[in-house]
Amino acid sequence: MTKKPKDTTVSSAKVRRKKPKLIAMDSCGISEEGKTMNEFYNEITVDVLARTLWGEARGEGADGMKAVANVILNREKIAREKGKFWWGNDIIQICQKPYQFSCWNRSDPNFRKLQEVDKRDLYFATALRIANRAVAGALEDVTGGATHYHAAYIMPYWAKGKEPITVIGSHKFYNLVG
pLDDT of 44-76, one tens digit each? 999 999 999 999 999 999 999 999 999 999 999
What's the pLDDT band for 177 if we cut at 50, 70, 90? confident
Strand-pair category, 148-151 with 166-168: unpaired
DSSP for residue 136: T
Phi, psi of 54 (to 5 degrees): -65, -45
Q: What is the pTM of this model?
A: 0.78
What's the CA gap between 58 and 45, in Å, rounded? 18
Helix spans in the chain (H): 37-57, 61-82, 91-96, 109-116, 122-135
**Where are the chain's structural domains?**
37-142
